[in-house]
Amino acid sequence: MDLSEIKNIVFDLGGVIITLDRERSVRRFIEIGLENADDLLDAYHQKGVFQHLEEGLLSESEFYDAIRAEAGKYISDEDIEWAWMGFIIEAQVYKLKMLEDLRAKGYTLYLLSNTNPVVMKWAMSPNFSSEGKPLSDYFDKLYLSYQMKSLKPRQDIFEQLITDSGLIPSETLFVDDGTANVEIGKALGFKTFQPKNGEDFREIFN
């Protein structure tokens, strides 16, 4: 891939930097009593209360209450967090090293993620990486859906990123595993790359 004009790289989180396991999370939610978890949880774009959490329409505590209402029974906050974190496999060490190497080469790195405060509580802690570093240590700035009150692939979340960062799309590589997200990135002038969930794509930077 020709990166000669690229100054910035915008990464997605789930499926790109960390590997996702949707089926494990669905199993956990069903186990704790959310019988329609398979309908609500998606690998790319959540539905119902999960979407509302990632869009910033619900706080973390409101989300827990909404899950209990959806299930029609009491479920502890801890069990809900355990089920939601079933989505997360790990932050692979070689990918975090890749991010450090790219910054050392002079690229400005941004994260643009459809995510939520439950996952980010883990990601912003020393438990995120084996080196005890939080996610924020690997990027120049994080752009998180629940804080931006929008979701990919909506155009406005990309426009917020562009306006706030001052980046020029034609000088920016956008790396995301969601087809709809990549399509809007292309339409806005970004150079794009779409890896598969968990793929080792370091070779594109060689």
CATH of domain 8-19+91-205: 3.40.50.1000
- Ordered by start, the domain boundaries in the chain are 8-19+91-205, 22-87
CATH 3.40.50.1700, domain 22-87, yes or no: no
Tens digit of each residue's pLDDT (9 = 90 or more) over 24-76 = 999 999 999 999 999 999 877 889 999 999 999 999 999 999 999 999 999 99
Catalytic positions: 12
User: What is the model's pLDDT at position 42?
Assistant: 83
Q: What is the largest CA-CA distance in the chain?
A: 56
Positions in the chain whose pLDDT score sits under 70: none
Instruction: Report which DSSP code applies to 109.
Output: E
Q: What's the pTM value of the predicted model, to 2 decimals?
A: 0.95
Q: Which two tokens stand for residue 18?
A: 């960390």
Give the dihedral sign, CA 37/42/47/50.
positive
